[in-house]
Amino acid sequence: MLKHGQMRHPRKSKKSEKTKRVSAPSQARFLKKKELKVKDAPRALIDPAVEQQMKTFEEGVQNFQQQKYAKAKPLFEKVLSGPGKDLADRARVHLRIVEQRMQRSESVVPRTPEEHYQQGVAMMNMGRWDEAREHLLRARKLAPKADYVIYAMAALDCLTGEAESAMENLKLAIQLRPENRYHARNDEDFAFLQEDPRFTELLYPDRDGSGT
């Protein structure tokens, strides 16, 4: 019993003592451990099959944008059998457009030099070399000095392995329009001539014999 003048000090419960014992540094250590666990978690690995499917799709799109439908078509068809559903759906859309454009190019009846030229280029993109040559020859007959027709014939010659004819046509196309020299430098259709010194001399006339 308390005497008069004495005050009772409330006793701290065991529960409050336990709560007080959890200091700030220990909480920080706990949080740090959690962060380490998150950082140490292994990252999700990309499926090599999906990665290859993506590369094939991108190659198909590149050919599609260059209107090389004959090359794009089998690439999109290959993507359809890949594991990625989203990529397969996108490839299916592109494939439908490719087939429509290939059919459309077959139904056109060309009459002018430009129409024969466009048809010839379309046949080149589909890998139909004989038909491409036929249309380009007709375009050239109707417009003998059309540099773009002669340039296309040079590209077709190169694609079919006719180096001599390709060089002659490319040289003439550059004479008619010097800008064709710069187009040919970045045109992959002339890859067949890349190792031919005559091709290098034609495209880079400012270079001397020392290669500088």
Q: What tens digit of pLDDT does each residue of 57-66 get? A: 999 999 888 8
Residue 53 burial class via C-beta count within 10 angstroms: exposed 0-12, middle 13-18, buried 19 and up = buried
| pLDDT for 100 | 82
CB 146 within 8 A of CB 140: yes
pTM value > 0.85: no
* Distance of alpha carbon 146 from alpha carbon 153, whole angstroms: 11
* Distance of alpha carbon 111 from alpha carbon 67, whole angstroms: 22
Mean pLDDT to the nearest integer, 4-26? 49
The parent domain of residue 177 ranges over 110-203
Q: What tens digit of pLDDT does each residue of 120-153 get? A: 998 888 888 999 999 999 999 999 999 999 999 9
- Of the residues 64, 86, 106, the one at which a domain ends: 106
Tell me the H-state helices in 126-193: 129-142, 147-159, 163-176, 180-185
**CA distance to 40, 94, 105, 112, per residue, from 69 (Å):** 47, 10, 11, 23
What would you measure as the largest C-alpha separation in the chain, in angstroms?
Answer: 129
| pLDDT for 102 | 76
Say if residue 174 is in the same domain as residue 132: yes
CA proximity to 64, closest of 102, 110, 13, 16: 102
Say if residue 140 is in the same domain as residue 184: yes
107 vs 197, higher pLDDT: 197
Say if residue 60 is in the same domain as residue 101: yes
| Domains identified in the chain, total number | 2
- Of the residues 75, 106, 137, the one at which a domain ends: 106
> What is the chain's length?
212
* Distance of alpha carbon 90 from alpha carbon 7, whole angstroms: 82
pLDDT at 108 over 60: yes
Q: What tens digit of pLDDT does each residue of 147-198 get? A: 999 999 999 999 999 999 999 999 999 999 999 999 999 899 999 898 899 9
What average pLDDT does the structure give for the chain? 80
CB 193 within 8 A of CB 169: no
